[in-house]
Structure 1
Amino acid sequence: MSENYYSGKFGIERETLRVDSQGRLALTPHPFGNDAHITRDFCENQVELVTPVAGSIEETLGYLKVLDDITRKKLAENGESIWLYSNPPHFDSEDDIPIADFTGDHSSKRAYREVLKQKYGKKLMLFSGIHFNFSFAEEFINEMNTEGEDFRTFKDELYLRLYKQLMVHSYLLVLLTTASPYYDASLDKDGRCGIIMSEYSSLRNSKRGYWNKFLPILDHKSLKTFTGSIKKHIVTGSLYSASELYLPIRLKPKGVNSLENLAANGVDHIELRMFDLNPSAPLGIDGRDLEFAHLLILYLTSQPDFDFTPELQEKAVSDHKNAALLSPDAELLERGESVIKEMERYFSSNKKALEIIRFEENKITGNACYKKAAMNCAL
């Protein structure tokens, strides 16, 4: 493997909710102005930290810590703190979920969120998590382009093949990183309270989470057909915009995140959107999980292309939702373990990579809960 093989660009987007001293949703305005790195997503009481582009996972976690420190300090001054769980705390009603008050040049963001409110309700938008962004080093892409194809075309095809592979294997990252089996009853119905043990290990990745009201079937033959198939869903009114495409993997352009920009200028990076907030990790994410995701990306890049048929697209989403159950199907666990074993062989000469892979493998083979699930035992 070349010296560019493990290089690339990395970024993290972390969503959390602001809570007051009683652990209830903070109803104060977003206290960070229009800071591009400390913003909000759907609602005014949700803080989204967006790291600068980094040259390694370690570096991007360093950026995240700086942003996290700034956020916590500012919130503490207001008697508030971060809710480091993917599922929200107790709330009385949707009145406690004010839509993010974007104004001026950003007012279109508020209009979009008003559409989401009408279409999905505001409770769904409280789910928070981690998005992991990655792009290959251009030197690595050039090394892979052994036939000397047009760089833009080769790059787009490379990311599109990776997109398909990651969609098919997104279940594995869900299996390994779910961290939200408990939730407050107010998520079910206004006025209820009390902690509920769900049938899901991750509500936001389950059938109760972020999904469209239909499964958008896409055409993956080329970036042109891919963006065109998304555009058709927008033209017919099934989707308001490409941002409403609630699938666990996204292809992103450089600069403005729009379908037009992606179609015109090509893929800049790929986004993995399935990571739960890990309340046992100070920053909400264990760096080893991101390192494994990077290794999975590299491994899947080496795998052959395939036709991502409508049937396979349906199965990929079904597997993803299945992986979010407290007791996933034994077949899914076995398949995940098989992929990890293949990755061990693929990275057999890299000691650090093997340590990361075995750390993740132990979550399946060494965890009593998963053993019970594999034996079809009720938890």
Structure 2
Amino acid sequence: MSTALISFSQRLAALSEHPNALKGLGRGIEREALRITSEGTLSLSAHPPVLGSALTHKWITTDFAESLLEFITPVSYSVSETLTQLQDIHRFTYRSLDGEMLWPLSMPCYVGNQDEINLAQYGTSNVGRMKTLYRKGLKHRYDSIMQVISGVHFNFSFSQSFWQLWIRDQTTYTTQEYISDAYLGLIRNYYRFGWILPYLFGASPALCGSFIKNTERAMNFETIGKEGTYYLPYATSLRLSDFGYTNSTQGVLKIGFDNLAQYLEGVRDAMRTPSVEFADIGVKDASGYCQLNTNVLQIENELYAPIRPKRVTKSGEKPSDALERGGVEYIEVRSLDVNPFSPIGIDETQVYFLDLFVIWCVLSPSELMADCELRCWRENWDKVVMGGRKPNLTLQIGCNGEQLTQTEWGHRVFADLTDLSVVMDKAYGGDKYQSVCRDLVTWFDYPEKTLSARLLKKIISQESISKVGLGIAADNAALFSKGDYLKFTEAQFRKESEASLQRQRNVEQSDGVNFEQYLAEYFGGSLSP
């Protein structure tokens, strides 16, 4: 039976009869944060050795820059355990930073010169060199400053018991095909309605003046303070706008989500599609490599998407090959700003809401997405990230011309989420999910409750995004300087750091080909970074 023929209320009724199918939800969080000095400027120091190898550490790595840390929690089936793991990773990191702190905002701190942003280093192995070269390509393509924006990624999977209940009526699909189709349906609904996340949780309504040096791009902003803080009065998430972590070149790709084959074909085409703009950079110059290639995407990690279908890769396997081999295993939500009001960048309310929202996305009918609807959702997201708190903002969902105000759409979605929250609390006990719904639905009527509004109020009152960020960073440093580990131990962290350094040495010693051959084999399909 096609999932599009089954209504949300029918799916919810089945889950209400079998609430245990909602248990066993897998979650993982990836949080990015810049290392800064006590003065609030970008750290220029190398990745601290006490944190282990950024190439092989299980929980602590780096993203684009050497100063851009990324924390990764193990998969957990408990909200409190996931957040506790993240707290412990922060606690160990803060106690290892030797006076440095973590910038608590998505948009970067003051950066005087982009040349100060050092590319992340991963050692002398072929895989480590390729990771750095990929980042060098990003620097040439989009500028370094665009790559030190921080976000939070939320990884989520359903249990086998959920899928057993989900597919009990179908007869024509294999189990994994059905699961993959369901996840793609979830993704389509996320694109349709995911603008709710930047409205509620967007936390980048302002920028440091050092981020915008082009007067033409800055002309629509209001400014405050001597140092130059730029903001838009109704913006929610400039990080997700054209001012943030985006790639306008990718707008022509039209990667579809109707089925897994279509998605994989689109991603692979992007990695084979030449870019005239990036060809001007060249692959090599007199000093060596400039980028991996001149295609729209160097590798598939360069695809800037608010949500991705994922599967855990085997050694030497590309993400797209893993999806083709085994189907979709989980989804990665990538459109969360760092929450400045949480010392770990995300809080319990957000995780409970994310549970509800992605479950609602999979339970709700999800028609295939035509090109006109792709354009529609992009326009809706753009409206919300640039002016989501503007009174009476209207959005259009779908190609039939139906328009409602953002507030009306929000209440319509929350009506379903509230019904779902009752079933979730039936499965887990208590009323946490219902409590989250009761609270967050009011944010549509009172936009001053949103994270972006609260943060902008602080920035305007202090006339400086730098002062606000540095103050929060100092408070977080004081918080993590004390207190006990709750899930991990200090000894576990130190053991993992030492083990990761040894794993890196093992990788470096095991290389059997030179770098040129490694790259040739990788793009021939036999190796992966």
- By the TM > 0.5 criterion, same fold? yes
Give the C-alpha shift of residue 321 in structure 1. Answer: 2.2
TM-score, length-normalised on structure 1? 0.92
User: Which residue is 2:232 aligned to?
Assistant: 198
Q: CA separation in 2, counterparts of 1:29 and 1:279?
A: 25
**Larger RCO: 1 or 2 (CA < 8 Å, sep 6+):** 2
2:259 maps to 222
Q: Does the 8 Å CA contact 1:19/1:26 hold for their aligned counterparts?
A: yes
Pair 1:212-2:236 in alignment: no
Task: Note the C-alpha offset of 1:163.
Answer: 1.0
Give ranges in structure 2 of 5+ residues lacking alignment: 1-14, 215-225, 274-294, 395-404, 426-430, 454-459, 461-529
Which of 134, 152, 159 is the equivalent residue of 2:183? 159
CA deviation after TM superposition for structure 1 residue 343, in Å: 1.8
Tell me how far 1:368 sits from its aligned partner. 4.4
More helix by share: 2
Residues 241-269 of structure 1: per-residue CA shift (max 9 Å, x gap): 22111110111111256222222222121
Which of 445, 468, 471 matches 1:365? 445
Which residue, out of 141, 144, 153, partners 1:122? 144
Q: Secondary structure at the match of 2:115?
A: helix
| 2:352 pairs with 1:294 | no
Residue equivalent to 2:205? 181
Aligned residue among 41, 45, 59 for 2:67: 45
Q: Matched residues in 1 for 2:134 and 2:52: separation? A: 20
Hey, what's the Cα distance between the residues in 2 that align with 1:325 and 1:334?
A: 19
User: What's the RMSD between the two structures over aligned residues?
Assistant: 2.2
2:47 to 15, 26, 30: 30
Structure 2 SS opposite 1:292: helix
Check conservation: 1:19, 1:81, Cα contact below 8 A: yes
Q: Structure 1 282/289 Cα, relative in aligned 2: closer, same or farther at 3 Å? A: same
Deviation >6 Å, runs of 4+: none
Name which of structure 1's ranges 313-322 and 339-348 shifts more when overlaid on structure 2. 339-348
Give a deviation string over 1:298-336, Cα, whole Å, max 9, x none: 112111120111221122222222211244424233212
Whether the 8 Å CA contact 1:254–1:267 is kept in 2: the answer is no
1:123-170 deviations in whole A, cap 9, x for unaligned?
111110110000111121122111254121111111111111111111
Deviating more after overlay: 251-260 vs 226-235: 251-260
Tell me if the contact between 2:187 and 2:361 (Cα under 8 Å) persists in the aligned partners: no
Q: Which amino acid aligns with 2:120?
A: A
| Distance (Å, rounded) in 2 between the aligned partners of 1:118 and 1:16 | 22
Contact 1:319 1:332 in 2 (8 A): no
- Deviation of the 1:41 alpha carbon: 0.6
For residues 247-266 of structure 1, the aligned pairs below 5 Å read 247-255=305-313, 258-266=319-327
Provide closer, same or farther for how the CA distance between residues 81 and 68 of structure 1 changes in structure 2, counting only shifts above 3 A: same
- Asked if 1:19 corresponds to 2:36, the answer is yes
Give how far 1:196 is off: 2.4
Q: Once the 2 structures are TM-superposed, how far is the Cα of residue 225 of structure 1 from its aligned partner?
A: 1.9
What is the rounded CA distance, in whole Å, between the counterparts of 1:316 and 1:241 in structure 2?
A: 25
Per-residue deviation at 1:84?
Answer: 0.8
Instruction: State whether residues 443 and 449 of structure 2, in contact with CA within 8 Å, keep that contact through their aligned partners in structure 1.
Output: no
Contact 1:8–1:134 under 8 Å retained in 2: yes
1:158-195 Cα shifts (integer Å, max 9, x gaps): 111111111111101111101122221000129x9432
Partners of 2:407 and 2:445 within 8 A in 1: no
Contact in 2 for aligned 1:38/1:48 (Cα 8 Å): yes
- Larger of the two Rg values belongs to structure: 2
1:376 matched residue in structure 2: none
Q: Which TM-score applies when normalising by structure 2?
A: 0.66
Aligned match of 1:233 in 270, 286, 302? 270
Matched residue type, 2:421: F
Deviation at 1:279, TM superposition (A): 1.3
The question of 1:323 aligning with 2:343 is answered no
Distance 1:333 1:115, change over 3 A: farther
1:140 correspondence with 2:126 = no
Shift of 1:348: 4.2
Contact 2:349 2:436 in 1 (8 A): yes
Taking the aligned partners of 1:257 and 1:136, their CA distance within structure 2 comes to: 23
Higher mean C-alpha displacement, 115-124 vs 259-268: 259-268
Q: Secondary structure at the match of 1:74?
A: coil
The percent of aligned pairs where both chains have the same amino acid is: 28
The aligned residue for residue 412 of structure 2 is 338
